[in-house]
């Protein structure tokens, strides 16, 4: 399945291939078909199997888990559990919501340094969505990219609700997607022993939001 962002590029490449065939250019036809396959691969998408776990924090995109641990959330200025997912080489893909809730805010800031250092920002290549669950948990999803070329097309605005694992937007030429969860969120046990593990967006559980018996955050 191909994401809707790739339909027009794929159609244009198919037209090029048809034109090359009409012109009896074997090299042109082969090159165009290779381009079509490349576009389909770059814009590939799939409907995830969303787990029935309301308090789960899901991976927002297909990629590899870079790191998971306690750090500082630069967007809400708090201690948090940070989960970093490395994108593929092209850095393109559908981004899905890590949790269900209401979007509270959306930020665009300058480019970042080696460790998502927003103070050293120089170009608009970092974006973040703040999602608040019905239980009051604050989860921030941040998209970090390459200077000058990265773009995040968000499909939800502050005030709107988003479902867990549902399509949230599309990233072009990103590098890392980071989820900032509450500090007391419990990491999925398998993630603590598998560095650089490949994970699936919208279905892979990264952590679980922790609440006591009364339903409030511990």
Across 136-147, average pLDDT: 87
Half-sphere exposure of 27 (CA within 13 A, CB side): 0
The domain tally of the chain equals 2
Does residue 47 lie in a domain region?
no
**What are the tens digits of pLDDT across the range 58-98?**
999 888 888 888 888 888 989 999 998 888 767 788 899 99
The answer on 60 and 36 residing in a single domain is no
**15 occurs within a structural domain:** yes
Domain span at 8: 4-42
pTM for the model: 0.78
Per the domain annotation, does 216 fall within a domain? Answer: no
Do 36 and 84 belong to one domain?
A: no
14 and 90 belong to one structural domain: no
6 — pLDDT class (breaks 50, 70, 90): low
- Same domain for 97 and 154, yes or no, is yes
Same domain, 96 and 62: yes
Instruction: Looking at the structure, tell me whether residues 181 and 148 fall in a common domain.
Output: yes
Q: Please indicate whether residue 114 or residue 143 has the higher confidence score (pLDDT).
A: 143
* Residue 90 maps to a domain: yes
**60, 28: one domain:** no
What mean pLDDT is predicted for residues 151-156? 83
Tell me what pLDDT residue 138 has: 95
Q: Are 105 and 183 found together in one domain?
A: yes
Residue 109 lies in a domain: yes
Q: Are residues 145 and 86 in the same domain?
A: yes
Residue 136 resides in a domain: yes
The rounded distance, in Å, linking the Cα atoms of 138 and 183 is 10
Q: Of the candidates 154, 63, 66, 145, which has an alpha carbon nearest to the alpha carbon of residue 107?
A: 154
User: How far, in Å, CA of 42 to CA of 27, rounded?
Assistant: 22
Length of the chain: 218
CB 54 within 8 A of CB 28: no
Instruction: Looking at the structure, tell me whether residues 62 and 91 fall in a common domain.
Output: yes
CATH number, domain of 138, equals 2.70.70.10
Residues 73, 122, single domain; the answer is yes
3-state secondary structure of 67: strand
Are 68 and 168 found together in one domain?
Answer: yes
């Amino acid at each position: 399945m191909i994401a809707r962002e790739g339909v027009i590029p794929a159609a244009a490449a198919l037209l090029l291939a048809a034109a090359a065939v009409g012109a009896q250019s074997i090299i042109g036809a082969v090159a165009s078909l290779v381009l079509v396959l490349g576009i389909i691969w770059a814009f590939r998408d799939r409907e995830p199997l969303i787990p029935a776990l309301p308090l789960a924090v899901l991976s927002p995109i297909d990629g590899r888990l870079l790191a998971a641990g306690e750090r500082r959330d630069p967007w809400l200025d708090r201690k948090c559990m940070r989960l970093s997912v490395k994108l593929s080489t092209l850095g393109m893909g559908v981004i899905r919501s890590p949790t269900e809730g209401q979007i509270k805010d959306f930020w665009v800031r300058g480019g970042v340094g080696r460790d998502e250092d927003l103070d050293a920002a120089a170009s608009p290549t970092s974006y973040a969505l703040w999602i608040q669950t019905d239980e009051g948990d604050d989860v921030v999803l941040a998209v970090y990219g390459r200077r000058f070329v990265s773009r995040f097309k968000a499909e939800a605005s502050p005030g709107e609700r988003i479902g867990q694992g549902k399509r949230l937007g599309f990233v072009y030429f990103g590098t890392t997607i980071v989820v900032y969860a509450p500090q007391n969120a419990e990491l999925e046990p398998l993630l603590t022993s598998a560095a650089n593990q490949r994970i699936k967006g919208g279905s892979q559980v990264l952590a679980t939001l922790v609440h006591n018996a009364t339903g409030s955050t511990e």
